[in-house]
């Protein structure tokens, strides 16, 4: 499926590839076609959706268009993609109840016009990311508002391994075909 999408879109494959499986709640990192690691993730509590304000995780081919948070400590909280100067455990109990964006942000842009790019289906305009969470105990179950969440250690690791423009293919079905 991924290679078919690339060919259809006229894109070149990236050396690094991320495959997100919503059914399995896993994010796989491949390098030059070889699996390096599978991360436990959380996608949206809502059904998958590419539509604005749906709070669903968008499917299809994306790229990591921005890496935000380099050098910040693990657990740093981001608001509006800006570190607030406090890690999650330093925040008020009320704030800690929320699903915070922590540690690193890998901002996503959809590559499929009409599916996850443009108009009311634009992943970038919806501010969909891969990011850390202050609720790591929920990883492996749908618990986000559309983003893909990883543990703080894993998002930092992934942030350090992949370059911008790395492809991410989000599949809502269990079988992902390369």
Q: Does the residue 119 lie in any domain?
A: yes
The verdict on residue 109 lying in a domain is yes
**How many structural domains does the chain have?**
1
Six token digits for residue 6:
């690339």
Q: What is the CATH number of the domain that holds 11?
A: 2.40.440.10
Do the domain assignments include residue 23? yes
pLDDT in tens, the chain (178 residues): 556 655 666 666 788 999 999 999 999 999 988 899 999 999 999 999 999 999 999 999 999 999 999 999 999 999 999 999 999 999 999 999 999 999 999 999 999 999 999 999 999 999 999 999 999 999 999 999 999 999 999 999 999 999 999 999 998 764 444 4
Report d(CA 136, CA 127) in Å as an integer. Answer: 21
Closest by Cα among 41, 1, 22 to 155: 41
Q: What would the DSSP string read from start to end of 132-148?
A: E-S-GGGTTS--BSSSE
The Cα–Cα gap between 7 and 101 comes to 34
Any domain includes 133: yes
| Contact between residue 132 and residue 39 where contact means Cβ atoms under 8 Å apart | no
Q: Domain span at residue 95?
A: 2-171
In a domain? residue 150: yes
pLDDT of residue 9: 61
Per-residue pLDDT, 65: 98
Q: Given its phi and psi angles, is residue 33 left (phi above 0), alpha (psi -120 to 50 degrees) or beta? A: left
pTM score, two decimals?
0.91
Residue 177 lies in a domain: no
In a domain, 93, yes or no: yes
- Residues 82, 86, 89, 91, CA torsion sign: negative
Residue 146 lies in a domain: yes
């Amino acid at each position: 499926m991924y290679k078919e999408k690339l060919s259809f879109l006229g894109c070149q494959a990236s050396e690094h590839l991320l495959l997100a499986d919503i059914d399995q709640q896993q994010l796989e990192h491949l390098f030059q076609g070889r699996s390096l690691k599978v991360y436990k993730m959380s996608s949206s509590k809502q059904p998958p959706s590419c539509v604005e304000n749906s709070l669903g995780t968008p499917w299809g081919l994306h790229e990591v268009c921005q890496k935000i948070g380099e050098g910040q400590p693990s657990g740093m909280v981001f608001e509006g993609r800006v570190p607030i100067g406090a890690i999650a455990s330093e925040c008020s109990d009320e704030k800690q109840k929320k699903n915070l964006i922590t540690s690193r942000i890998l901002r996503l842009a959809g590559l499929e016009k009409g599916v996850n790019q443009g108009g009311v289906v634009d992943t970038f305009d919806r501010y969909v990311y891969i990011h850390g969470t202050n609720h790591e105990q929920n990883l492996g179950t749908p618990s986000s508002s559309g983003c893909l969440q990883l543990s703080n250690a894993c998002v930092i690791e992934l942030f350090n391994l992949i370059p911008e423009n790395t492809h991410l293919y989000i599949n809502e079905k269990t079988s992902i075909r390369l």
